[in-house]
Chain A
């Protein structure tokens, strides 16, 4: 069927987005609405001596001014914790909604001014006088442990000190190795930059003593749960959270931030709807940042160049407060992926998470897996160079063989299925790997250094089996919900707990329904993003929407089909066991009897001829699906670059991506996700970097200083697939949202090092700016001259 699974159906949602008709939080206005503006610290670390709000409170248009002292509800909570090596627990310092006594990063909210207009709120916020007693900023991750104390009683500014794997076996492997490859890499700090900044509109209903919060959320049900149960401690049913159209999230919109909570809290105080929308500077300062790790890597090889062990010691910068999933990202989303797609008998990792006086750091597209892939693929390249093997062949030698699945890694995960060589071979063929050296010499005649870089990655998607998440320190479940309602006229309404903010769920989820029920794609409507309209669900992150949410839809359809067969059996005067359903028609085996899906739907709601004594009327089913395991997309990306030695500019001349996402529902949307992911990975590798000065001032807080990738920075991508369908979900799907951002940074950096390796260059840090590349070339030439 042309609109079912596997068809590149055009995105239903694009008409409204491309014509500017999307309805975002900031587009919504309520009668009597007022505006909030936050007074933020412009000092990274200070004690607050006093806050004077008197003048501001009397300014034109001001309705209320609040500080931390006025707030009587709790702040953001930590959604995942891990045990320390010594058995103690993760340190979870309080995070007040508005700073109390102390500020811990530039942008920390100190007070809120609520006024009749945004302009009046902004003007009055200048009149709030905060007297600070400045403390030394803590910016450098490597020396954070000896910096000024950020949270009272938290020794060495360390939130946690976690380990995974067999240290003794790993150290034995390193000690008995024929070669140990050592490398230190830094995963640069990124600002997520969704196109739509965060926004909130909170309204209090005095008659029902209830709140409605419209907000930019990837997980409206979780926002509701956290606000009600943990912050406000009121019945969950008294809060409705609506996340309407949301313009991108990339992880940054998973969490409950202080701003939407303060607006919700204050809406009851002043009994008027309150709107807040971040401007771009506030987005830079307060959206949870991504990455920021330093990894010390040791890889043990035997005399046949097979990997025998891997040790990784990681420092993770988590910023001034512990964000909701900050602890999970460098630990269970990172340490568990260190085997990559390689057969490594012994692995050990230690991760120390530190506080610094910078913006909190949390999940950003890939979340932990890009960091794991980056360090692994960098050290794989280094190892191949050291042993004098081709980079692709060295990887092939160490791949988990395809007959070894299910494969138990040395770091907790069990990969259900995979086959890595075909993806490597296909990517090599797509980029014409075998003729690369000819292209290198041709480029060299033009005065350019040409290089090729390989990155083979694996990721764990579809978070998570709840029992596993719980055992590892997660405080939420990993299931997803779906409800499928067949309307009397045969159209279908699907509600999901997943949230679409660019992923195209309205189209892909409808394709599942089309495939299974035989109704046209246009007859399927998706409802999501409203805690009052869809069953409780976990939201969208970690490439889980299809692998968990899509499978929940499929499970609900199973129930619809089962009930429909009973109705059809009654209509056709047959036994339900003999009824078959295919292409939207019910038939009775061995007869010419048939009835259409639409007739069954009508009978369910107009049950004049219906088995009412044994079957309820109506045709609506809900399913909750908790996966058995993660899904494991994997593949190989190969980048080809040319470096101009005169300017240090890196031009990406070719890119081949071959991914195994299992079955594809909509290949066009999958390709779009791959493109977007690679673009963000290229941004990290070449352009983007969040830079703080020594006083904790974010110097890259606008697009003048924070360089985002643009179309002309990107090549035309070659995208291909292999397919080993996931073994443990009904759709055989794995997830594709993050793969591009995970695979691409090491492919690109490896390509740049490969281009400059004839000069003796063996290292390049991200972002590989023209200045850095040019300097590496100059330094290598001065070394050569000596």
Chain B
């Protein structure tokens, strides 16, 4: 399964990059994230609670960062187990491009994901829409947090 999308953020590339590498900041941008801990320079442990269609489940897994190219982007690779709901794994290439005219940053990502077990059997057709909704929520609160920080 492939998901591609991009967001225009009214912020400089450096600000976005810094936020993308701040796990506390990320955690606060993900309302369904219950745990996000840095284990090393490139590894994080995560615990998220998700509702996909008829299933509500808690995923625990690890996230690895690679192809780190500050402040232009990185690749996030992750896999998680959701108990009887099955498992998911995938990677996302994240790229940041600054638009000099508007002094904003275009964040684009390409996700390729695989799901297994009950999620595939029961929720596969809901995953695309769920993923879109989650990323919209994520970037919404991501931007709002940055904007709030800018307020006097």
Contact = CB atoms under 8 A, between A and B. Distances in A.
A42 B87 contact: yes
Contacts of B114: 695
Given A42-B86, A42-B87, A126-B83, A693 B120 contact: yes
Contacts of A42: 86-87, 116-118, 120
Nearest to A122: B84
B4 interface: no
B108 interface: no
**Interface size classification for chain B:** 10 to 19
Contacts of A699: 120-121, 124-125
B6 to A, nearest CB: 26
Interface string A686-718: 000000010101110110110000000000000
A106 interface: yes
Nearest to B118: A281
B121 A702 contact: yes
A358 to B, nearest CB: 13
Nearest to A44: B116
Nearest to A705: B125
A332 interface: no
B107 interface: no
B45 to A, nearest CB: 18
A42 B118 CA distance: 8
B121 A285 contact: yes
Contacts of B83: 126
A281 B85 CA distance: 12
B124 A697 contact: yes
B116 A43 contact: yes
A699 B120 CA distance: 6
Interface string B3-14: 000000000000
Interface string A541-577: 0000000000000000000000000000000000000
A579 to B, nearest CB: 66
Given A42-B86, A126-B83, A126-B84, A704 B122 contact: yes
A44 to B, nearest CB: 9
A281 B116 contact: no
Interface in B61-120: 83-84, 86-87, 114-118, 120
B124 A281 contact: no
A125 B120 CA distance: 19
Interface in A102-139: 106, 122, 125-126
B2 to A, nearest CB: 12
A698 B120 contact: yes
Interface string A392-417: 00000000000000000000000000
A435 B120 CA distance: 49
B103 to A, nearest CB: 42
Contacts of A281: 118, 121-122
Nearest to B120: A697
A160 interface: no
Contacts of A581: none
B122 A106 contact: no
Nearest to A698: B121
**Interface size classification for chain A:** 10 to 19
A185 B122 CA distance: 29
B87 A701 contact: no
A134 to B, nearest CB: 10
A425 to B, nearest CB: 47
Contacts, number: 46
- Counting chain A CB atoms within 10 Å of each CB, the highest count among B86, B118, B124 belongs to B124
Nearest to A702: B122
A284 interface: yes
A284 B121 contact: yes
A126 B117 CA distance: 13
A701 B116 CA distance: 12
Contacts of A285: 121
Contacts of B116: 42-43, 106, 695, 697
Contact of B121 (A43, A126, A697): A697
Contacts of B121: 106, 281, 284-285, 697-699, 701-702
Contacts of B115: 697
B85 to A, nearest CB: 10
A705 B118 contact: no
Contacts of B120: 42, 106, 693, 697-699, 701
A468 to B, nearest CB: 41
Contacts of A697: 115-117, 120-121, 124
A699 B87 CA distance: 14
B122 A701 contact: yes
A697 B122 CA distance: 11
Interface string B120-138: 1110110000000000000
- Counting chain B CB atoms within 10 Å of each CB, the highest count among A122, A284, A698, A704 belongs to A704
Nearest to A701: B121
Contacts of A284: 121
A456 B125 CA distance: 38
A704 to B, nearest CB: 7
Nearest to B87: A42
A698 B119 CA distance: 10
A42 B87 CA distance: 8
B117 A106 contact: yes
Contacts of B84: 122, 125-126
B67 to A, nearest CB: 23
Nearest to B121: A701
A699 B124 CA distance: 6
Interface string A22-51: 000000000000000000001100000000
Contacts of B124: 693, 697, 699, 705
Contacts of A701: 120-122
A106 B114 CA distance: 14
A551 B53 CA distance: 53
Contacts of B122: 281, 701-702, 704
A285 to B, nearest CB: 7
Interface in A513-565: none
A702 B114 CA distance: 19
A125 B116 CA distance: 17
Contacts of B87: 42
- Counting chain B CB atoms within 10 Å of each CB, the highest count among A42, A126, A281, A702 belongs to A42
A541 B36 CA distance: 57
A693 B87 CA distance: 15
Contacts of A705: 124-125
A126 B121 CA distance: 17
A121 B83 CA distance: 14
Interface of B: 53, 83-84, 86-87, 114-118, 120-122, 124-125
Given A697-B115, A701-B120, 14 more contacts: A42-B87, A106-B116, A106-B120, A126-B83, A285-B121, A693-B120, A697-B124, A698-B120, A699-B120, A701-B121, A701-B122, A702-B122, A704-B122, A705-B125
18 contacts: A42-B86, A42-B116, A42-B118, A106-B120, A106-B121, A281-B118, A281-B122, A284-B121, A697-B115, A697-B116, A699-B120, A699-B121, A699-B124, A701-B120, A701-B121, A704-B122, A704-B125, A705-B125
Return the 6 tightest CB-CB contacts between A and B, nearest first.
A701-B121, A42-B117, A697-B120, A42-B116, A699-B124, A702-B122
